[in-house]
C-alpha cells in the first residue's frame, strides 16, 4: 500500500510505487535496488521514445518567436539533463529546475519562481503548462497563468480544480493561447 500522508499538497514518488509493487509481488530486494532497476528500465524506454516531430516543431516555433522556456520537474538533474541531451532538446530549455535546485518543490511556488528568475521573466509574463495538479497550484501561487494539459494521469476537471486557468486538449493548441 502506498500513502501520500493524507495531504492533498504532497506527492507520491513513482519509485516508491515501483518498490511497493515489487514487495507486493514477493520480490525481496532492497528498496534502493528496486528503484535503481526501475529507473534503468524507465530511462531505456524513454530514450527510445523521445519527442515527436510536432513537439520539436512547436519548440522551434516558440524559440524563434523569442519565448524563453524552462522545465520544472521532479526528475533529478542528472537524469533530466541526460534525457534532454539524448532527445536533442537541451537548447530549448535554458532553465531546468529539479529537486536538486530548490528545497521546497511542487506544489510550492519556489521552483517556478526560480525558473522565472533564471529566464529573466516576470510571473505575469509566464505560462505554466503542466499535466499535474501540483503544476497548476505551484504556477498559480507563483503568479503565472496556468494551462492544464490532461495527457497524463489527471483529467481536465482535476487540473481545473487545482487552479488551471485554461485546459488544452492538445499541446498543438498552445500557440493560439500564448500569442493571442
Residues 71 and 14 in one domain: no
Q: Which three cell numbers stand for residue 178?
A: 500564448
Confidence at residue 12, expressed as pLDDT on a 0 to 100 scale: 52
147 within 8 A of 127, measured Cβ to Cβ: yes
Helix (H, G, I), strand (E, B) or coil at 72: strand
Q: Which CATH number covers residue 68?
A: 3.40.50.1000
Residue with C-alpha cell 505551484?
Answer: 138
Indicate if 42 and 77 belong to the same structural domain. no
Return the percentage of the chain with pLDDT > 70, whole number: 91
Instruction: Single out the residue of 93, 106, 178, 111 nearest to residue 136, CA to CA.
Output: 106
Residues 98 and 166 in one domain: yes
| Residue 36 in grid coordinates | 535503481
Q: What is the pLDDT of residues 23-65, one digit of tens each?
A: 788 877 777 777 777 777 877 887 788 888 999 999 999 999 9
> How many structural domains does the chain have?
2
pLDDT at residue 26, as a whole number: 80
Asked whether residue 7 carries a pLDDT value surpassing 60, the answer given is no
One domain, residues 93 and 144: yes
The pLDDT of residue 6 is 44
Of 49, 71, 88, the one marking the end of a domain is: 49
Q: Report if pTM > 0.75.
A: yes
DSSP secondary-structure letter at 9?
A: T
Q: Which domain holds residue 13?
A: 1-49
Task: Examine the domain organization and report whether 115 and 173 are in the same domain.
Answer: yes
Amino acid at each position: 500500500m502506498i500513502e501520500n500522508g493524507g495531504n492533498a499538497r504532497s506527492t507520491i514518488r513513482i519509485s516508491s510505487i515501483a518498490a511497493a509493487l515489487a514487495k507486493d509481488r514477493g520480490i525481496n530486494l532492497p528498496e534502493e535496488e528496486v528503484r535503481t532497476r526501475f529507473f534503468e528500465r524507465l530511462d531505456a524506454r524513454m530514450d527510445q521514445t523521445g519527442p515527436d516531430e510536432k513537439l520539436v516543431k512547436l519548440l522551434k516555433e516558440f524559440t524563434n518567436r523569442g519565448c524563453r522556456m524552462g522545465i520544472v520537474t521532479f526528475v533529478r538533474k542528472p537524469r533530466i539533463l541526460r534525457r534532454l541531451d539524448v532527445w536533442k532538446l537541451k537548447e530549448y530549455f535554458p532553465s531546468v529546475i529539479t529537486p536538486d535546485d530548490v528545497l521546497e518543490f511542487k506544489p510550492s511556488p519556489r521552483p517556478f519562481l526560480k525558473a522565472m528568475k533564471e529566464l529573466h521573466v516576470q510571473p505575469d509574463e509566464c505560462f505554466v503548462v503542466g499535466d499535474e495538479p501540483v503544476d497548476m497550484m505551484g504556477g498559480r501561487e507563483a503568479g503565472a497563468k496556468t494551462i492544464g494539459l490532461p495527457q497524463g494521469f489527471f483529467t481536465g476537471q482535476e487540473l481545473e480544480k487545482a487552479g488551471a486557468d485554461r485546459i488544452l486538449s492538445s499541446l498543438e493548441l498552445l500557440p493560439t493561447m500564448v500569442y493571442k
